[in-house]
């Protein structure tokens, strides 16, 4: 196991407006900072810091509909045929229209189970006379999708508990977008005044910690990396969380190496990481977010099931939706696993991680 001396705390400039910029020092009293209306200005030790932080981030997302909407443009294009179908809909055409609607949902990776459920419920309501026009059918379609997302994956806000620091672990298969998502998440949380420590838990590839260091620099966060090669990921994470606790960080964001969900020993390493973090702070990690590549569509389902069985996933981050026309997988993954999508990645820039909002999503794909 790597000893604490094998690990170094690389202190990057930390120009948080609310906290001391000197690494390892206490918070400056909030009274020395002029609060702005959009910023959260309360210390973590005060009641509700984390729940308010989660809520605030989610609320901000609502005002950034444009970004979410452009991220889903390819999926929207796939589904545009539905508008054309419904524009000229009449009762005699019901079977043909529903067949084509079914096809459009399948092409966008809603998955057969959800697609059939939605289409059959529409058919019933049309035949019983409950839905009488194309626009009523479209509203009912939107409502069905929204109902799935809100009943099965309603807790889309980050759940960070009450103890400082909160710990978030980012996990997933190779190349899904873990490190990038961690960097973007750090940016969002830091913008709301949280003091963030990154932990370079991907000890598998030498370049991995360099990549995270670039994100630390870009976002002005501090980072813990292993000094020696082949350090155990679990020791890096446990050292980082200790550091976070001793030095008053609000949130420790833990990167991990990419692993195939079918690789038993690598999946065991994740269990070790989770345990190591929990030994430092009982109850941690507060969130284990599984990064899923939107381009893989329905193939993400077995990955999600396996990761969930091994470490217990608390939420998904769906990445690369900007390049994917398969955005329906958002719905199938929530429906199949009953775990909320918490963020969606809609580009490679620092601002391109959007908190997931079910209503905004439905309006983005069915305008
Ligand atoms: N277009 C787009 N690209 C993304 C998004 N998220 C990540 N990427 C890109 O995907 C590639 C892989 O991202 P990483 O963050 O390195 O993925 P990772 O899961 O950490 O990879 P490993 O550590 O190798 O397992 C990079 O080129 C990212 O810029 C996204 O939401 N949209
Ligand atoms: Mg990575």
Give the per-residue SS3 of 124-163.
HHHHCCCCCCHHHHHHHHHHHHHHHHHHHCCCCCCCCCCC
List the domain boundaries for the chain. Answer: 5-30+44-65+157-365, 70-152
CA-based nearest residue to 349, from 251, 220, 218, 157: 218
Q: What is the mean pLDDT of residues 191-197?
A: 94
Closest listed ligand to the CA of 72: 1
Q: What is the mean pLDDT of residues 304-324?
A: 94
Q: What is the mean pLDDT of residues 51-80?
A: 82
User: Which of 54-63, 176-185, 306-315, 322-331 has the lowest average pLDDT?
Assistant: 54-63
- Whose CA is closest to atom 10 on ligand 1? 177
Better-predicted residue by pLDDT, 277 or 156: 277
Element (H, E) at 197: strand 196-201
**256 alpha carbon – ligand 2 mean position (Å):** 7
CA 17 to chain centre: 25
User: Is the CB of residue 176 below 6 angstroms from any atom belonging to ligand 1?
Assistant: yes
Q: Domain 70-152 sits in which CATH superfamily?
A: SRP54, nucleotide-binding domain (1.20.120.140)
Pick the atom of ligand 1 nearest to 182's CA: 15
Amino acid 294: pLDDT: 92
Closest listed ligand to the CA of 354: 1
Q: Are 182 and 172 in contact (CB under 8 A)?
A: no
What percentage of the chain carries pLDDT values higher than 90?
66
Report the largest interatomic distance among the alpha carbons of the chain, rounded to a whole angstrom. 76
Closest listed ligand to the CA of 173: 1
5 pLDDT exceeds 70? no
- Whose CA is closest to atom 5 on ligand 1? 320
268 pLDDT exceeds 70? yes
Residue ranges in the chain assigned as alpha helix (H) = 49-62, 65-71, 73-87, 94-107, 112-127, 134-152, 178-191, 206-219, 233-246, 264-280, 300-311, 329-337, 358-365
pLDDT interval class at 9 (50, 70, 90):
very low
**154 alpha carbon – ligand 2 mean position (Å):** 28
Q: What is the mean pLDDT of residues 12-23?
A: 35
Q: Rounded distance, CA 238 to CA 278, Å?
A: 8
Q: What is the mean pLDDT of residues 216-225?
A: 96
**349 alpha carbon – ligand 2 mean position (Å):** 16
Better-predicted residue by pLDDT, 270 or 9: 270
**179 alpha carbon – ligand 1 mean position (Å):** 7
Residue 283 phi/psi, 5-degree rounding, is 95, -15
Residues 6+ apart with CB under 8 A from 85: 97, 100, 101, 134
Q: Rounded distance, CA 11 to CA 151, Å?
A: 43
Q: Rounded distance, CA 284 to CA 160, Å?
A: 9
CA-based nearest residue to 226, from 252, 248, 255: 255
CA-based nearest residue to 271, from 316, 237, 222, 229: 237
2 pLDDT exceeds 80? no
Q: Rounded distance, CA 330 to CA 296, Å?
A: 11
Q: What is the mean pLDDT of residues 280-303?
A: 94
The correct CATH number of 5-30+44-65+157-365 out of 3.40.50.300, 2.40.10.10, 3.40.367.20, 3.30.70.100 is: 3.40.50.300
pLDDT interval class at 80 (50, 70, 90):
very high
Amino acid 337: pLDDT: 95
Instruction: Return the best residue to mutate from 322, 348, 355 for the ligand 1 pocket (most ligand atoms within 8 A of CB).
Output: 348
CA distances from 287 to 83, 186, 235, 272, 367 (A): 39, 14, 19, 16, 32
Looking at residue 323, the DSSP 8-state letter turns out to be: G
CA-based nearest residue to 365, from 124, 107, 125, 176: 107
User: Is the CB of residue 258 below 6 angstroms from any atom belonging to ligand 1?
Assistant: yes
**303 alpha carbon – ligand 2 mean position (Å):** 17
**Residue 83, both tokens:** 């508008």
Q: What is the mean pLDDT of residues 118-131?
A: 96
Pick the atom of ligand 1 nearest to 345's CA: 31
Q: What is the mean pLDDT of residues 152-181?
A: 93
Q: Rounded distance, CA 265 to CA 165, Å?
A: 29
**345 alpha carbon – ligand 1 mean position (Å):** 9
Instruction: Return the best residue to mutate from 75, 270, 319, 326 for the ligand 1 pocket (most ligand atoms within 8 A of CB).
Output: 319
Sign of the torsion formed by the C-alpha atoms of 272, 277, 279 and 284: negative
Amino acid 88: pLDDT: 83
Average pLDDT of the chain is 85
Pick the atom of ligand 1 nearest to 175's CA: 21
Pick the atom of ligand 1 nearest to 323's CA: 1
Sign of the torsion formed by the C-alpha atoms of 333, 297, 354 and 253: positive
Pick the atom of ligand 1 nearest to 202's CA: 23
């Amino acid at each position: 196991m790597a000893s604490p001396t094998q690990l170094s705390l690389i202190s990057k400039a930390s120009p948080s407006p609310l906290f001391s910029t000197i690494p390892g020092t206490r918070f400056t009293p909030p009274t020395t900072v002029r609060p702005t209306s959009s910023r959260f200005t309360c210390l973590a030790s005060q009641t509700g810091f984390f729940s308010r932080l989660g809520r605030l981030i989610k609320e901000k997302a609502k005002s950034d509909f444009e970004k979410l909407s452009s991220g889903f443009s390819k999926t929207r294009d796939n589904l545009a045929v539905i508008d054309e179908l419904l524009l000229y809909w009449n009762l005699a055409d019901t079977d043909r229209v529903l067949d084509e609607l079914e096809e459009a949902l399948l092409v966008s990776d809603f998955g057969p189970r959800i697609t059939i459920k939605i289409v059959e419920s529409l058919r019933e309501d049309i035949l019983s006379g409950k839905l009488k026009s194309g626009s009523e059918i479209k509203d009912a379609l939107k409502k069905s999708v929204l109902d799935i997302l809100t009943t099965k994956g309603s807790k889309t806000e980050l759940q960070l508990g009450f103890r400082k620091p909160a710990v978030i672990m980012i996990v997933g298969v190779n190349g899904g977008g873990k490190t990038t998502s961690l960097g973007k998440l750090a940016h969002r949380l830091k913008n709301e005044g949280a003091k963030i420590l990154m932990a370079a838990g991907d000890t598998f590839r030498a370049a991995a910690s360099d990549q995270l260091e670039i994100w630390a620099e870009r976002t002005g966060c501090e980072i813990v990396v292993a000094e020696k090669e082949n350090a155990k990921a679990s020791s890096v994470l446990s050292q980082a969380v200790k550091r976070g606790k001793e030095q008053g960080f609000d949130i420790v964001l833990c990167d991990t190496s990419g692993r195939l969900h079918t690789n038993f020993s690598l999946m065991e390493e994740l269990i070790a990481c989770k345990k190591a973090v929990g030994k430092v702070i009982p109850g941690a990690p507060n969130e284990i977010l599984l990064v899923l590549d939107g381009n893989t569509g329905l193939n993400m389902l077995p990955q999600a099931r396996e990761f969930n069985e091994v470490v217990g996933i608390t939420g998904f981050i769906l990445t690369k939706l900007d390049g994917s026309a398969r955005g329906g997988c958002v719905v199938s993954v929530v429906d199949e696993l009953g775990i909320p999508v918490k963020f969606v990645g809609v580009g490679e820039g620092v601002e391109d991680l959007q908190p997931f909002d079910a209503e905004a999503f439905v309006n983005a794909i069915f305008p």
